[in-house]
Chain A
Amino acid sequence: EAQVTQNPRYLITVTGKKLTVTCSQNMNHEYMSWYRQDPGLGLRQIYYSMNVEVTDKGDVPEGYKVSRKEKRNFPLILESPSPNQTSLYFCASSPTINSNSPLHFGNGTRLTVT
């Protein structure tokens, strides 16, 4: 089944403890992206990647890192999480970088930083 898989679905951690949220897609998509969703703010893009070894900042990249060493994986790294990074996170992918390629989203990771 074609899908975008995020892990974990739920994560509770403490301030300053490094964590990684994994994202994997099995559709050979070139484009991958991370979003965070907060009440009243909609979906905001954190980082995106147009292909392997090509990443770029979105609207809210501060406090996050990403890597794209393989086409299928696009992990989101929080080196030193803070409570303001408590949010619902979504990974997405699409076949190409062209504007007519719809995004496929994962089911989300709910992160709580205390």
Chain B
Amino acid sequence: LAKTTQPISMDSYEGQEVNITCSHNNIATNDYITWYQQFPSQGPRFIIQGYKTKVTNEVASLFIPADRKSSTLSLPRVSLSDTAVYYCLVGPRNSGNTPLVFGKGTRLSVIA
């Protein structure tokens, strides 16, 4: 199962674009890359998912280079309410012996 590495924390001012990169050197051919957002004392919430190139939704963009060994979550014009922990998750769940492993996440602090 692909292990992920993310920065432990990041700070940003309101209105700026924030990019959080996740490394997953051992990503397998059938692995998807999924990002979740978690506020204190709440369960993680799905943000975006991708397999290759670029994916964009109303919340964020996800950039995946051709080798897929990393991915970057881009949050445009962050606000104070974007302060949260962001998790990058990589892996399939097609196998009966495949636990789904979260990394430690990136704690984003948005400053006014």
B92 and A43 form a contact (CB under 8 A): no
B43 and A106 form a contact (CB under 8 A): yes
Of A13-21, A64-72, A73-81, A91-99, the one touching chain B? A91-99
Collect the chain A residues with CB atoms within 8 Å of residue B101's CB.
45, 59
Q: Chain A contact residues: over half helix, strand or loop, or mixed?
A: strand
Q: Which of chain B's residues has its CB closest to A96's CB?
A: B93
Q: A43-B102, A48-B99 are in contact. Are A103 and B42 (CB under 8 A)?
A: no
B100 and A45 form a contact (CB under 8 A): yes
A38-67 interface code vs B (CB 8 A; 1 in, 0 out): 001111110010100010111100000000
Q: Chain B contact residues: over half helix, strand or loop, or mixed?
A: loop
A90 and B100 form a contact (CB under 8 A): no
Please, how many angstroms separate the alpha-carbon atoms of A50 and B41 in the complex? 26
| Neighbour of A31 across the interface among B30, B41, B43, B93, CB < 8 A | B93
User: Does B63 sit at the interface, judged by CB under 8 A?
Assistant: no
Please, how many angstroms separate the alpha-carbon atoms of A90 and B49 in the complex? 21
Please, how many angstroms separate the alpha-carbon atoms of A50 and B93 in the complex? 9
Which residues does A use to contact B, with CB under 8 Å? 4, 31, 33, 35, 40-45, 48, 50, 54, 56-59, 88, 90, 92, 94, 97-108, 110
A–B pairs, 10, beta carbons within 8 Å: A33-B100, A41-B104, A43-B102, A45-B99, A45-B100, A92-B44, A99-B31, A100-B51, A103-B34, A103-B36
